[in-house]
Amino acid sequence: MSTAAPIEPITTDPMLTQPYSVRQVVKETPDTFTLALESQNEPARNRFRPGQFSMLWVFGVGELPISISGDPVEGDRLVYTVRSVGQATQTLVSSKVGEAVGVRGPFGTGWPVEQAQRRDVLVVAGGIGLAPLRPVIYEVLRNREKYGRLVILYGARSPRDLLYRKQLAAWARKRETQVLVTVDYGGLSWRGHVGVVTTLFKYARLQPARSTAFACGPEVMMRFVARDLETQGFGRENIYLSMERNMKCAVGFCGHCQYGPHFICKDGPIFSYDGMRPLLEKYEL
Amino acid sequence: METLERIIAEHPFFAGLESYYTNLLTGCASNVRFDAGTYLFKEGEEANEFYLIRSGKVALEIFAPQRKPVMLATLGEGEILGWSWLLPPYLWRFHAHAVETTRVIALDGKCLRTKCEQNHDLGYEMLKRFAQIMEQRLEATRLQLLDVYAVGK
């Protein structure tokens, strides 16, 4: 079985934007879209680790850090799931097939998926936080024999905000895989769980002491998640969080994404809870 | 009754409770099934029971005039439903309806209140355990109120 290739930047110069073309745009929710990009240069060398991100240049508007949400072994294209929340993201998700987008990267450390081998894997995602975690799920499912149980807990604001609904259903049918979805606000027609994602922990069938957790979502959500997981018996060193700050250069020069002693772009965005806990508890940082 | 006592004794909510107490609880317990769509209780009704959910799913709802009911939370297998039986005025504060066929152990609140008054050690055990559930639900509700997935948050 294949695994993700080691970190290998697309370009030798991390500040040099490479031209890509939009090949597909899929509407996931009313405000969130998945874009598949292909390099305009041949041959494409799109290697990345789950959890890494790219800087996407929206011509005439600006540059954005966006996590890669595709399969690490899909070398011919890069896939991003983008929520439209401002001018740059709105322009990006409105892209038509064939339009050009600039790409720098991949950047960042990535999820330590290999360290979770022979252990149960818990994926805890909130909102668009499922996007950076999807490559982890691909990786575990492709190398199923190397991992214990896979438990995916996913929380969203409402049923209409759920990403990858068909995939979630398909993953739930995989062996040794448990998928639980909850929403903060369920309409009366919703038959699933209602409540924050931490309320799903009691249904997770895994052994905390021999599990590794990967969590991504709003920072306050991750703080609650990590604390509750520790209470349940997860080791702090086995809980990984994806942090987010305003990233500009993506290589640790500009300092925009400094978080305590770390640069999120270079030292992260993935950190173990062991190191992050004191910073997460700071009122302002 | 032996089966009920075993179910109660093995339920996480009653973990570590002395068998003397589980025996007392069993005297107030019964097996109940609710079909999907039926209400376990409604706001304002007397709260004379609480439930250990064995299977299925229950939605907690609150309503406001001229609005559809709002689903606050769902509870499933292994969870506890209801503490209004424990605190005056012993009235339910929200609706609870079975989203799917739900099997529960129903514990008679009036019966338990009497036993807790007669045996304060049992009462203290019950309060400790319910306080923990209340704390967990309160924290989850606070996080829910933050509306963390909304744009700009």
CA distance B79 to B137: 11
A59-80 tens-digit pLDDT: 999 999 999 999 999 878 999 9
Residues A63 and A131 in one domain: no
Is B115 a residue whose pLDDT tops 60?
Answer: yes
- The residue type of A273 is Y
Taking CB atoms and an 8 Å cutoff, what residues of chain A touch B133? none
Residue A51 counted as domain residue: yes
Q: Is A175 inside any structural domain?
A: yes
Find residues 219-258 of chain A whose CB sits inside 8 Å of chain B: 220-221, 224
Q: Report the percent of chain A where pLDDT is more than 70.
A: 94
Least Cα distance to A111 among A280, A254, A238 occurs for A238
Same domain, A85 and A149: no
In-domain check, residue B153: no
Mean of the per-residue pLDDT values of chain A: 92
Q: Is the Cβ of B150 closer than 8 Å to some Cβ of chain A?
A: yes
Residue A103 lies in a domain: yes
Residue A2's pLDDT band, with cuts at 50, 70 and 90, is very low
Regarding pTM above 0.80, the answer is: yes
> How far is residue A88's CA from residue A64's CA, in Å, rounded to a whole number?
7
pLDDT of residue B3: 82
Give the percent of chain A with pLDDT over 90. 75
pLDDT at B152: 65
Question: Does pLDDT of A5 surpass 50?
Answer: no
Does a structural domain hold residue B126?
yes
Instruction: Specify if B95 maps to a domain.
Output: yes
Q: Are B82 and B49 in contact (CB under 8 A)?
A: yes
For the stretch A84-114, pLDDT in tens is 999 999 999 999 999 999 999 899 999 999 9
Do residues A180 and A152 make contact, with C-beta atoms less than 8 angstroms apart? Answer: yes
Nearest CA in chain A to B150: A157
- Listed residues A107, A134, A152: the one ending a domain: A107
Phi, psi of B71 (to 5 degrees): -85, 115
Q: Does residue A90 share a domain with residue A155?
A: no
Residues A98 and A197 grouped into a single domain = no
Average pLDDT estimate for A133-154: 98
- pLDDT above 70 covers a percentage of chain B that reads 97
CA distance B105 to B122: 19
A15-38 per-position pLDDT tens digit: 889 999 999 999 999 999 999 999
**Could you report the per-residue pLDDT of A195-254, keeping only the tens digit for each?**
999 999 999 999 999 999 999 999 999 999 999 999 999 999 999 999 988 888 888 888
> Which of A50, A54, A21, A47 is CA-nearest to residue A36?
A21
Calculate how close chain A gets to B74, using CA atoms only, in Å. Answer: 5
Copy the structure tokens of residue A215.
């969590």
Segment B85-96, tens digit of pLDDT: 999 999 999 999
Beta strands in A201-252 (DSSP E): 211-216, 239-242
Query: Does the beta carbon of A86 lie under 8 angstroms from any beta carbon of chain B?
Result: no
CA angle (A38 as vertex; A32, A43 as ends), nearest 5? 160
CA A251, chain centre distance (Å): 19
Asked if B133 reaches chain A (Cβ–Cβ under 8 Å), the answer is no
> Closest chain B residue to A126 measured between Cα atoms?
B149
| B91 secondary structure, DSSP code | B
The C-alpha atoms of residue A267 and residue A269 are separated, in whole angstroms, by: 7
CATH number for position A81:
2.40.30.10
Instruction: Note whether residue A124 is domain-resident.
Output: yes
Band (pLDDT 50/70/90 cuts) for residue A3 is very low
| pLDDT above 60: residue B1 | no
- Ranges of H-type helices in chain B: 2-10, 19-26, 109-118, 120-145
Q: Is residue A137, in this structure, part of any structural domain at all?
A: yes
Residues A147 and A81 placed together within one structural domain of the fold: no
Q: Residue A38 falls within a domain, yes or no?
A: yes
Q: Is the pLDDT of residue B2 over 60?
A: no
Q: Identify the three-state secondary structure at position A106.
A: strand
Domain range for A34 = 18-107
Q: Note whether residue A176 is domain-resident.
A: yes
CB A123 within 8 A of CB A139: no
CATH classification at residue B33: 2.60.120.10
Average pLDDT of the residues in B19-41: 94
Any domain includes B61: yes
Beta strand residue intervals within chain A, DSSP E:
18-29, 32-39, 53-58, 62-67, 78-83, 100-107, 120-126, 150-156, 177-183, 193-194, 211-216, 239-242, 258-259, 262-263, 270-272
Identify the helix (H) or strand (E) that includes residue A231.
Answer: helix A219-232
Residue A9 has pLDDT above 80, yes or no: no
Indicate whether A144 belongs to any domain: yes
The number of domains in chain A is 2
- Residue A187 confidence (pLDDT): 81
Average pLDDT over residues A124-132: 97
Radius of gyration of chain A (CA): 18
Residue B79's nearest CA partner among B61, B96, B93 is: B96
Contact B24, B122 (CB under 8 A): yes
Looking at the complex, does the CB of residue A203 fall below 8 Å from at least one CB of chain B? yes
In a domain, B151, yes or no: no
| B17 CB neighbour count, 10 Å cutoff | 18
Q: What is the pLDDT of residue A1?
A: 41
Q: Which of A51, A76, A107 is the last residue of a domain?
A: A107
**Structurally, how many domains does chain B consist of?**
1
Do A146 and A225 fall into the same domain?
yes
d(C-alpha A84, C-alpha A79), whole Å: 16
Please report, for the domain that includes residue A117, its CATH number: 3.40.50.80
Most confident of A130-139, A181-190, A253-262, B17-26: A130-139
DSSP secondary structure code for residue A229 in this structure = H
* Positive or negative torsion for Cα B145, A28, A264, A199: positive
Helix (H, G, I), strand (E, B) or coil at A121: strand
Q: Could you tell me the two tokens for A101?
A: 């987008």
